[in-house]
Structure 1
Amino acid sequence: MKCLIIDDEPLALTQLSGYISRISFLTLVASCQDACQASEILAHTPVDLLFADINMPDLNGIDFVRSLPNPPMVIFTTAYSEYAIEGFRLNAIDYLMKPFSFAECLRAAEKARQMYGLTHNTAEPEEEKSTLFVKSEYKVIRIDKEKILYIEGMSEYVCIYMEDRPKPVLTLNSLQKLSTMLPPNFMRVHRSYIVNLNKITEISRFRILFGKDVYIPIGENYKEQFMAYIHRLGLI
Structure 2
Amino acid sequence: MIRCIAIDDEPLALRQIEGYIDKTPFLELTGKFNSALKAMDFLQENEVDLMFVDINMPDLTGLDFVKSVSSKAKVIFTTAYREYGYEGFQLDAADYLVKPIAYPEFLKAVTKTKERFFSKKEAAETIEKNDKYLFIKSEYKIVRIDFNDITFIESMRDYVRIHLETQKPVMALMGIKKMEDFLPKADFMRVHRSFIVSRSKISTIERNRIIFGKDYIPVSEQYKDVFQEFLDTRFLK
Quick one: which amino acid aligns to residue 173 of structure 1?
A: K
Q: Is the 8 A contact 2:53 2:78 kept in 1?
A: yes
Matches of 1:120 and 1:38, distance apart in 2: 24
Kept after mapping to 2: 8 A contact 1:159/1:170: no
Q: Residues 8-56 of structure 1, C-alpha deviation per residue, up to 9 Å, x if partnerless? A: 0001111110110111221111110011110110010111110000011
Q: Percent identity over the alignment?
A: 36
Match of 1:211 in 2: 220
Three-state SS of the structure 1 residue aligned to 2:172 is: coil
The one-letter amino acid of 1:8's match is D
Contact 1:4 1:51 in 2 (8 A): yes
Change (3 A) 1:99 1:35: same
Specify the SS of the correspondent of 1:75: strand
Aligned position for 2:168:
173
Q: Calculate the TM-score normalised by the size of structure 2.
A: 0.59
Helix, strand or coil at the partner of 2:26: coil
Deviation (angstroms), 1:170 = 6.6
List gaps (5 residues or longer) in structure 2.
Answer: 130-134, 138-142, 178-189, 195-217, 222-237
- The answer to whether the aligner puts 1:199 opposite 2:200 as a matched pair is no
What are the within-5 Å matches in structure 2 for residues 46-57 of structure 1? 46-57=47-58
Residue of structure 1 equivalent to 2:14: 13
Contact 1:51 1:75 (C-alpha < 8 Å) held by counterparts: yes
Structure 1 Cα separation of the partners of residues 144 and 111 of structure 2: 24
2 CA distance for matches of 1:90 and 1:48? Answer: 16
1:70-109 → structure 2 map (5 Å cutoff): 70-109=71-110
The partner residue of 1:141 within 143, 149, 174 is 149
- Aligned twin of 1:125: 127
Question: Please, what is the CA RMSD of the aligned residues?
Answer: 3.6
CA distance in 1, matches of 2:155, 2:63: 44
Taking structure 1 as reference, are residues 77 and 183 closer, same or farther at Cα in structure 2, changes over 3 Å only? same
Which residue number corresponds to residue 231 of structure 1?
none
Q: 1:159 to 1:124 in 2, by over 3 A?
A: closer
User: Counterpart amino acid of 2:70?
Assistant: P
Q: Name 1:183's counterpart in structure 2.
A: 174
Deviation of 1:105 (Å): 1.2
Partner amino acid for 2:168?
N
* Partners of 1:199 and 1:210 within 8 A in 2: no
TM-score by length of 1: 0.59
Contact 1:73–1:92 (CA<8 Å) still a contact in 2? yes
